[in-house]
Amino acid sequence: MVSQARKKSSSVDWESFGWDMVYRVGSALDHWCWDVSGDTALDCYTAHQDHGLYELAEEFVGEGYGITEEDVKLLKKMPKKYYEKFNAEIRRRIDKVVNKLMEEWGGEYGEGFGFG
CB proximity list for 12: less than 8 A, separation 6 or greater? 74, 78
What's the mean per-residue pLDDT of the chain?
A: 85
Q: What pLDDT, on a 0 to 100 scale, did the predictor assign at position 106?
A: 57
Q: What pLDDT, on a 0 to 100 scale, did the predictor assign at position 101?
A: 86
Q: What pLDDT, on a 0 to 100 scale, did the predictor assign at position 62?
A: 86
- Name the band, by pLDDT with cuts 50, 70 and 90, for residue 5: very low
Position 38 pLDDT exceeds 50: yes
Does the predicted model carry a pTM greater than 0.85? Answer: no
Position 7 pLDDT exceeds 50: no
Whole-angstrom Cα distance, residue 14 to residue 48? 24
- Name the band, by pLDDT with cuts 50, 70 and 90, for residue 102: confident
User: Distances from the Cα of 101 to the Cαs of 13, 42, 112, in angstroms?
Assistant: 34, 6, 9
Q: What pLDDT, on a 0 to 100 scale, did the predictor assign at position 105?
A: 63
- The residue among 93, 100, 83, 102 whose CA lies nearest residue 30 is 93
Over 18-50, what HEC string results? HHHHHHHHHHHHHHHHHHHCCCCHHHHHHHHCC
- When computed from its CA atoms, the radius of gyration of the chain, rounded to whole angstroms, is 15
Position 16 pLDDT exceeds 80: yes
